[in-house]
Structure formats: structure tokens, C-alpha cells
Amino acid sequence: MLFAIDVGNTNITIGLFDGEKLEKTFRMTTGVSRTSDEFGVFLGDLLRMRNLPLEAVDEAIIASVVPNIMHSLINGIKKYFKINPLIVEPGIKTGINISIPNPKQLGADRIVDAVAAYHLYGGPVLVIDFGTATTYDLISQDGAFVAGAISPGMRLIANALWRDTAKLPEIEIKVPETVLGKDTISSMQAGVFMGYIGQTEYIVKRMKDESGYPNMKVIATGGLGKMIYENTDCIDVYDPDLTLHGLRIIMEKQK
């Protein structure tokens, strides 16, 4: 079995694969300092919850945008599972041609999303990952990563709104009933959410127009992606497990 581990700025998402089947997903917070033993025990407990021995996992792959936890995470896997995890980094075989001037600048999470989107949905395809930051990445019809855009995620925008103003409160991110807010909280929710819908639709339209791929597929993933997908027509598919499947596909390509 395979541990596919996506280390994001906010959460660490772990997928347990049996072949191509995603058996279970788990999440833990990223912003907590953990030792290698803590990582190893946590991952072992995930298996015990499914009545599986540690030996059931014989492969692991990690994509990370948070370098300072990697030493403990990697050593935890080595110590408890006796395997060396594969790290998604420049030079790894992915099946995607990175056609930008400096491929080493491309984050591991974006590479993995691109691999999954192209492999599962074909090209040309635009994959949008609604995470701490929102990334828009364009993969051509022949499987080349050709361009992208990055914007602050919806939570970052909401947090900045209440943190950097004197009287605006912290709000829950939710879909407002109307853009016509009647009080401070509903007005903030309307501005944050509806504004983000507008950003998404505009960037998708411009990417279609400027790329010459007016009919390309648009795939969304990430924690807040479902809310956006359900409230716009510019996204074709919401796939919450896209990144984990991308990790699985990359692992298979190494063989």
C-alpha cells in the first residue's frame, strides 16, 4: 500500500492507496511542530484504525511546500515503516513537460496537480487549487505546463480584512444568500465570497482567451473549491482528491 502525503501551508493531507483505489484520507494541521516519533506514531495509528500492520505500507511519496517539517516527517517514515519516501522535486519523472523559463520555481503541489489533471482529464486543462493560496495552472493538449497565476486564497483575504482593520470582526466563510448585505458580517461575507467568484470567472475567461484554448476543461480542487464550483458555471469538475491521485500517478511513473 502507498502513503501519499501532501504537505500544504495549512494542512497535511494523507491518502492511503491500495493500488489505484484511495482507501482513506486523513488531515492534520501543518502549523504544529512535531518530532519524527510523533509523525511515525500518527501514521501508524491511521493503519491500526483499519486493522492493518505497519508492514502493509511499503511505499510513500511526499509533495511539500513547507520545507521546515520535512526532516521530521521523512525520518518518521523511515524509522517506523523502514522505507525511504519519494520526494517530489526537480528532476523527478512526472510525464509533464515544464515549459516555463525556470522550472525549479514551480512548487511541488502545482506539479502534482498538473500531473493528475492531465492524466485523469486530458488536455488542454486548467487546474485551480483553492488552498491557502489559489493557483491557476494551464496544461496544454500535449501535456506541457505552460503558464499559471497565483492569488491569495479566500481565507487569507478574509483574515486580512478583519486583522488589518480596526472594527471589522472575524467572519465565517460561507455562501451568502445575497450580495445585498444588511449588516457588517453579511456585507463582509458577500464581498469576500462574491468577489472571489468574480476573480475566478475573470481569470478563467482571460486564460481561455489568451491561451487559444477556449474549450479547455477546468478542474477545481482544494478545501474551498467545492463552494466556488457550486456557485459558478466556469468550472467543469470539482475533484477533492486530485492532488493525492497526482502523487499516486507520479509514484507509478517511477516504476
Give pLDDT tens digits for 169-197: 999 999 999 999 999 999 999 999 999 99
State whether 80 and 104 are in the same domain: no
State whether 71 and 169 are in the same domain: no
Which of 76, 69, 61, 68 minimizes the C-alpha distance to 108? 61
The cell for 36 is 519524527
Sign of the CA dihedral running 65, 111, 93, 249? positive
Q: How far apart are the first and last CA of the chain?
A: 15
Name the residue type at position 37. Answer: D
Q: What is the pLDDT of residue 103?
A: 85
Q: Rounded to 10 degrees, what is the CA torsion of 75, 78, 81, 86? A: 100
Q: What is residue 105's DSSP assignment?
A: G
Residue 255 belongs to a domain? no
Residue 218 belongs to a domain? yes
Q: What is the pLDDT of residue 105?
A: 86
Q: What is the pLDDT of residue 236?
A: 98
Name the residue type at position 92. Answer: I
User: E-strand spans in 57-152?
Assistant: 59-64, 86-87, 97-98, 125-130, 133-139, 144-152
Asked whether residue 50 carries a pLDDT value surpassing 90, the answer given is no
42 half-sphere exposure, CB direction, 13 A CA radius = 18
DSSP readout, 38-76? HHHHHHHHHHHTTT--GGG--EEEEEES-GGGHHHHHHH
Count structural domains, the chain: 2
Assess contact for 15 and 244: CB atoms under 8 A: yes
State whether 216 and 112 are in the same domain: yes
* Single residue among 87, 111, 142 that ends a domain in this structure: 87
Asked whether residue 219 carries a pLDDT value surpassing 90, the answer given is yes
Give the model confidence (pLDDT) of 221-239 as tens digits. 998 999 999 999 999 999 9
Residue 92 belongs to a domain? no
Residue 253 belongs to a domain? no
Give the model confidence (pLDDT) of 85-111 as tens digits. 999 987 889 989 998 888 888 999 999
- Cα 99 to Cα 34, 73, 202, distances in angstroms: 37, 31, 24
Active site amino acids: 109
Query: Domain range spanning residue 224?
Result: 97-248
Name the residue type at position 175. Answer: V
Q: What is the pLDDT of residue 100?
A: 87
Mean pLDDT (the chain) is 94
Asked whether residue 33 carries a pLDDT value surpassing 90, the answer given is no
